[in-house]
Structure 1
Amino acid sequence: MLNKSDEFLEDALFIRELAMKHNKFFEESIPLIASENIMSPMAMEMLLTDLGFRYAEGLPHKRYYQGNQIVDIIEDKVTDLGRALFNAKYVDPRPLSGTNSNMAVLYAFTKPGDTITTPALSGGGHISSAPFGAVGFRGLKTLNYPFDVDEMNINVDGTIKLLKQAKPKLAWFGQSVFLFPTPLKELRDTLEEIGSTVVYDAAHVLGLIGGKQFQDPLREGAQIITGSTHKTLPGPQHGIIIGETTEEKWKKVQRGVFPGTLSNHHLNAMAALGVTLAEHLDYGEAYAKQIIKNAQTLGSELSKLGFNVLGEKNGFTKSHTLAIDVSKNGGGKEVAEKLESCNIILNKNLLPYDDNKKSMNPSGIRIGTQEVTRIGFKEADIKELAELISDIIIKKKDPEVMAEKVRDFKSTFNEVQYCFGKFKPYQYIELFK
């Protein structure tokens, strides 16, 4: 019988048991969500430290709290690693997420009533750039770049025309469905002519940029990069802002971070980000190359098997992401749920020709290869994965049989790669005895 002081222990144990089940579920599943990844053992260690219980408001060596002398050294090192990885003058590792990074930049460079230009949601834009997201909370008006479905990218001529007409204070680029590099080079002269601050949301492709396998936004016309740090960059759920701009503009960014949009900045996650940046300096190029190889292989194989994979004209993708029109296979919601029932995890997604009202049942699905690459998938494994997806969706084989096949296939991938040390993915780290 429980003591009175432990009357809610059963509730806590129930939550713990569910967390264990969650780990087991992902251990037995193939994770293809384009916005997720798993960390290395050393980065995970950082989340368990005393850093997670402390505050450090402000900038290093200028804190509002005592007890930060070691935190300051850690943050300086994380900042230096970020500068080295992205070849950037400025890095702020304090934001709590990609959306928080975006909010800080909006706070820094806009005021309510300003007009900014952004990608449309249906063209892959992130929700923070939508009227009901961070942009709306800042009281901004948005104009969306025209989108070329054939190229699966923003239309250059139409975007130049829009920029010249609107002369936005801030021009926002970067997407959540990000198959090909943004044509920043082609837009650069226009952006400089109208004097817009150019912000590039690199949340999805940050690891590809750091691995020098995508585009280099700071050398192509962007002044500020924002991002989350847990997608193709396989770190903690945290944020980062990177800049190649004037000191005056960077001070505005720093004020946008604190006190603009956060107080404490989750010091354990910041330390985990530092470890991830160090690992990416050593392993990022090889990791990014394999992510893209796997994505292109999966796009090609799924196309051969009868799926309508978008972007075929340009090789399906040059990132970690694929966009697939499954309207003839039951639609995005049905396909994602069928695959989930067989332990293949991805998400339904709007496609460029979808109305935003279809967000809960869009035409498409989105696939990312960064996490399966992290646990060792190579091209041959990707081809087997494509067959599994086809068997479930096109051939409509028995879900219970397919789920068992998926579990058997996944069981052979037992090590986190492209990092310091060795670690079995998805294991539950048990502290409570």
Structure 2
Amino acid sequence: MTENYDTAQKIRDLAMEHNDFFRKSIPLIASENIMSPLAMEMLLTDFGFRYAEGLPHHRYYQGNFYVDQVEDITIDLAKKLFKSDQADPRPVSGTNANTSVIYGLLNPGDKISTPPLSGGGHISAAKFGAVGLRGLNIVNYPFDVENMNLDVDKTIKLIKSEKPKVCLFGQSVFLFPTPLKELKDAAAEVGSKIWYDGAHVLGLIAGGKFQDPLREGAEIITGSTHKTFPGPQHGIILGKTDEKTWKNIQRGVFPGTISNHHINAMAALGVTLAEELDYGREYAGKIIENAKYLASCLAEDGFKVLGEKNGYTESHTLVVDVRNNGGGRHVADLLEKSGIVLNKNLLPWDDGNKSQDPSGLRIGTQEVTRIGFGKSEMKEISRLIKIAVIDKKAPEVVKKDAADLKSRFKKVKYCYGDLEAYKYIKLLN
């Protein structure tokens, strides 16, 4: 063997251990999912080694005959699924999609209105994210903690007084639909474009179970494609806007913020779009049903689940205040040791200094739903969280119970094909 073979094998061993860890754990990270076998197959193709700069049929490289066809199909599927006039599947992540829109529509010094970080806003819209790097003037919408949503009346006043060039809506902690219908007239009055970051809820929008931003006032939707939308780690931009605006956004993608757009992931996105057209409505409905039921179970088991006034959630996400249980960092670490994987999260009353030890937890049901969990499993998840956090049962005991629960669910659902979930696929013996 060559000198560095053992080091390469160590990387492989760690990858296999990672698969095994998730095979035995309960995955509740709200920004992750598991792909279908056909979409996963696309990541292993020769597409992953090639370049395709520019738009289909107008490339800067040769050898893109098949890539152009795949991208054309992917664009058509996206426009059909989301009923959009335009679609660009080239962004390599949700943040890249956001950055492309920022560079396409806004110049340094322009004003943008965004949700606050403590109210679930995404880091790309913060002063240390892409918005800040572009040198934009940021104003944050007022947040209504009781309703866990934007304060409509105060937001209307803010838009009319601040007159932002772009109004950005959409969050990383996204319990309820954004009141776009109530806010679009204020934006129109001051000439603001409405942009909707649908990264977390893209699959719920695709399934017709959350809201329909392009019919409710948004001109642009950005999103990552691996959360409630169960595809590869990639991004997408959807539009229902004028040709000049769309061309500016596409220039923001290339040459603005990327060169090659990871063609294998784009092909996997195309497969997932087709699967969502066939299975997305059923899958999205089940995600939300599970989230609402898990929230109610956790509340019954003694946790403070936010959003109670409005039924806890209408998305895949629920948020729990664990200040009285040791704080978000402590509880998330404890649950990881107990075989339950979720994340600590800022709550509306936290300031930025608490980002590493915030008050809350964020929980998502999209991945466990993809492998077949239903209401009885949501109740069992709540029980496991309770005995770990409130009853202080030994983590190794809870971890065994979590693995036993997970062992009964071995297939990826709502997709084409039949593949064992979390199976490590070897190409070398």
Q: 1:296 aligns with which of 292, 295, 298?
A: 292
Is 1:273 matched with 2:278? no
Residue type of the alignment partner of 2:349: Y
Residue type of the alignment partner of 1:406: A
Q: Which runs of 5+ in 2 are unaligned?
A: none
Is 1:405 matched with 2:392? no
Q: Deviations over 1:152-191 (max 9, x none)?
A: 0010011011101110011101000000000000001111
Partner of 2:102: 106
Q: Deviations over 1:380-416 (max 9, x none)?
A: 1111111111111111112111111111111001000
CA RMSD of aligned residues (A): 0.5
Q: Which runs of 5+ in 1 are unaligned?
A: none
**C-alpha distance in 2 between matches for 1:399 and 1:211:** 37
Partner of 1:336: 332
Q: 1:419 aligns with which of 410, 415, 421?
A: 415
Q: 1:97 aligns with which of 86, 93, 100?
A: 93
Is 1:244 matched with 2:240? yes
Residue type of the alignment partner of 1:61: H
Partner of 1:371: 367
Q: 1:29 aligns with which of 5, 10, 25?
A: 25
TM-score (norm 2): 1.00
Q: 2:213 aligns with which of 209, 217, 232?
A: 217
Q: Deviations over 1:67-114 (max 9, x none)?
A: 101110000000000001000000000000000000000001100111
Q: Deviations over 1:173-211 (max 9, x none)?
A: 100000000000000111111111111000000000000
Partner of 1:159: 155
Alignment of 1:144-293 (within 5 A): 144-293=140-289
Partner of 2:12: 16
Q: Deviations over 1:231-282 (max 9, x none)?
A: 0000000000000001111111111100011000000000000000000000
**Cα displacement (A) at 1:314:** 0.4
Identity of aligned residues (%): 65
Residue type of the alignment partner of 2:427: L
Is 1:381 matched with 2:411? no
Partner of 1:76: 72
Is 1:323 matched with 2:319? yes
Q: Secondary structure at the match of 1:91?
A: strand
Say if 2:328 and 2:344, in contact at 8 Å, map to a contact too: yes
Q: Secondary structure at the match of 2:233?
A: strand
**C-alpha distance in 2 between matches for 1:277 and 1:251:** 23
Q: How many matched pairs?
A: 429
Q: Secondary structure at the match of 2:363?
A: strand
Residue type of the alignment partner of 2:233: Q
**Cα displacement (A) at 1:347:** 0.2
**C-alpha distance in 2 between matches for 1:323 and 1:382:** 15
Say if 2:184 and 2:194, in contact at 8 Å, map to a contact too: no
TM-score (norm 1): 0.99
Q: Which 4+ stretches in 1 moved above 4 angstroms?
A: none
Residue type of the alignment partner of 2:238: I
**Cα displacement (A) at 1:362:** 0.3
